[in-house]
Structure 1
């Protein structure tokens, strides 16, 4: 009778007949994020610099922002800094240069330029940790070098002032996506959270999409109405993105993506970057928030001119109706649903950190991504699946937009008349 010799693997002796233990969910997540760090679709740090410091950041320590709370203004600490990006295993980041949708278009153009400038100044202060990039190849090189590939995304079409010339100049400055609307309609596209006025895209809005395709600039459909989503998918020649949205079948918020649009991601080749915003994650949380808003409106109508009575009434209501919080598990539920309808190749991560009060329980700030990936591994996602969600899908989508732009290199720019 032949006897098998013991097998030695990585310094561990296995007796004959012994089986290797399956890796834990934590180990699967760690392996995936080591190979493919998170490419996050949306972070609002530039907005925080504007709101908290009016873009005067010489004294701001971006290595650690945990002491930035401002209780007098009702603000907690920022969610993002170099330490927590490292803990979160972030390898590439779209920094959102959002400005208020209530600004005039001309004001929005100036403010967006200022936001691009402030983010570039932050990147220049940390060349060992952050690298400004504009291409998929550039992102890959930065990540290989151990730096966070830093790209710029514009949140809200009001930021181009209804001008294709401004759009081209924003692209020249490095912007690589434009969210077509924010909370309000633009003169050429309907928002998901405003009363529709255009039935989707106008003719000029279609030219915006075509010019973005020609430039290789990703069309971001977060914040837009379902009809606008559909109109874009009807005409785009390049993959699209949702930089920070969830699944509407899981949470009915208008900011989330309906199944009919998710199903079209396969043919388009685009990506839905699952958002971490609590009100978009948990349906119970959304309902609680809506009831709270209704109670506040009721109290203000009852106690006009008496804010103390309103505050006392709200405090009493909250005492009897404890806050409903979203969790990492809720976040994973959205990813499960996007996988079911669109497929594993069309999922990414768009945390929305520093654009909300807090992330979900378990991933309250930018350090929380490993907890989300561990939860996904616990649900049976393979290492290859997790690598796709973390960054490989986003890399493919950006390369797709770049390839389409190369194919249209001989096309002249789309033009629109100057208005003054």
Structure 2
């Protein structure tokens, strides 16, 4: 019996412990480091669906929210689904249309800051307003969802660094330099370039954001603007919701020339979940459909019903390709290959699109992505960095730089002559 027991013990010592499954690795990573999402458009939904009136808004169940005019379904985000998706910190995007005149955009963004602050205050058991990294860490530790504000589109500052400073004072902690259209001081990724990147004033905007400790967001900007911002920046930049252009060629995605500069800058690409930016096949489908629509409009001038009928036939014969968590993981793989795992985050763009990828249609989908990454060999430590560790490092670095120049006076620019 003694020999049997010794042999059994020796066998047990020689047998490796059972490997953790991808599901277990993903769950452990998300428990240790919940997702810090870079971009969510709930404020836009409040504006479109509720006109910023919160009496009928229930953030514990938004699945049956009223129509917003461009999407038939309910919202992608509410508190129970954020919990299910392991979201522990969220940049809420206080976006307004780039078509608004500058002064109107300024007022509208102020309204969006106000309404999101009211939502956060309304759910104190679940949400905690945060303006710095320590507050984010404290909120996560207490089990609340840290709630930060991010501005999407520099047109809202009305070409004024004074207005920029006041937005920062109200709690905005990043600003996307452009949106879909170029501005007087910066080129957009999706508009005809005019400045070859940033103008001298645009460079001053980046410098002043660094001085304040406000993150410079380069999603939506042109490649030249990305390069100029990296030339000027003294603190890490972010891409709050972008993919890798080598995987999907959309102009909104980040080219390798920029990814290669991220290690020196320290910034992060927060990978988007928008299917059209993930799946190259879907991007090609959209381009082909636009081409077919243009052809039909040329053939059937002044006959919109004929165009619509023929386009419906084309749609029936050409199924739109879908995107999945695997497509999103492909972007993460590529960014890791070029820039490294320290420069990856997540920025879903939920409630700013019709739907997320298959299996990740709303904010509950992040665990599926992490399981996919774990299947690909990402370690728990890697996944914790991607979930929130990298973004925390970036915000702390921006705060550290701002503290180092606290004696620097605000950048002044003259008012235009009246």
TM-score (norm 1): 0.96
C-alpha distance in structure 1 between counterparts of 2:131 and 2:359, whole Å: 32
C-alpha distance in structure 2 between counterparts of 1:399 and 1:302, whole Å: 58
Measured after TM superposition, the shift of residue 70 of structure 1 is 2.8
Is the 2:59–2:78 Cα contact (8 Å) retained in structure 1?
A: yes
Change (3 A) 1:133 1:73: closer
Which of 272, 281, 285 in structure 2 is aligned with 1:288?
Answer: 285
SS at match of 1:374: helix
C-alpha distance in structure 2 between counterparts of 1:86 and 1:6, whole Å: 45
Trace 1:10-409 onto structure 2 (pairs within 5 A).
Answer: 17-68=14-65, 70=67, 74-409=71-406
SS at match of 1:272: strand
Change (3 A) 1:383 1:6: farther
C-alpha distance in structure 2 between counterparts of 1:183 and 1:23, whole Å: 44
Q: Give CA-to-partner distance per residue, 1:76-126, whole Å, 9 cap, x none.
A: 211111111011100000000011001110010000000101101110110
C-alpha distance in structure 2 between counterparts of 1:17 and 1:230, whole Å: 54
SS at match of 1:68: coil
Change (3 A) 1:263 1:74: closer
SS at match of 2:175: strand
C-alpha distance in structure 1 between counterparts of 2:329 and 2:143, whole Å: 28
SS at match of 2:38: strand
Is the 1:4–1:16 Cα contact (8 Å) retained in structure 2?
A: no
SS at match of 1:381: coil
C-alpha distance in structure 2 between counterparts of 1:284 and 1:74, whole Å: 23
SS at match of 1:204: helix
Measured after TM superposition, the shift of residue 405 of structure 1 is 0.1
Measured after TM superposition, the shift of residue 3 of structure 1 is 4.0
SS at match of 2:179: coil
Corresponding position: 1:411 with 2:403? no
SS at match of 2:108: helix
Is the 2:48–2:69 Cα contact (8 Å) retained in structure 1?
A: no
Measured after TM superposition, the shift of residue 307 of structure 1 is 3.0
SS at match of 1:22: coil
Segments of 4+ moved more than 6 angstroms: none
Mark the runs of 5 or more structure 1 residues left unpaired by the alignment.
8-13
Measured after TM superposition, the shift of residue 69 of structure 1 is 5.4
RMSD: 1.6
C-alpha distance in structure 1 between counterparts of 2:71 and 2:133, whole Å: 39
Measured after TM superposition, the shift of residue 142 of structure 1 is 0.2
SS at match of 1:324: coil
C-alpha distance in structure 1 between counterparts of 2:294 and 2:42, whole Å: 31
Counting matched residue pairs gives 414
Measured after TM superposition, the shift of residue 305 of structure 1 is 3.8
SS at match of 1:99: coil
SS at match of 2:58: coil
C-alpha distance in structure 2 between counterparts of 1:17 and 1:214, whole Å: 58
SS at match of 1:297: helix
Measured after TM superposition, the shift of residue 302 of structure 1 is 2.9
C-alpha distance in structure 1 between counterparts of 2:154 and 2:44, whole Å: 16
Is the 2:350–2:356 Cα contact (8 Å) retained in structure 1?
A: yes
Is the 1:245–1:273 Cα contact (8 Å) retained in structure 2?
A: yes
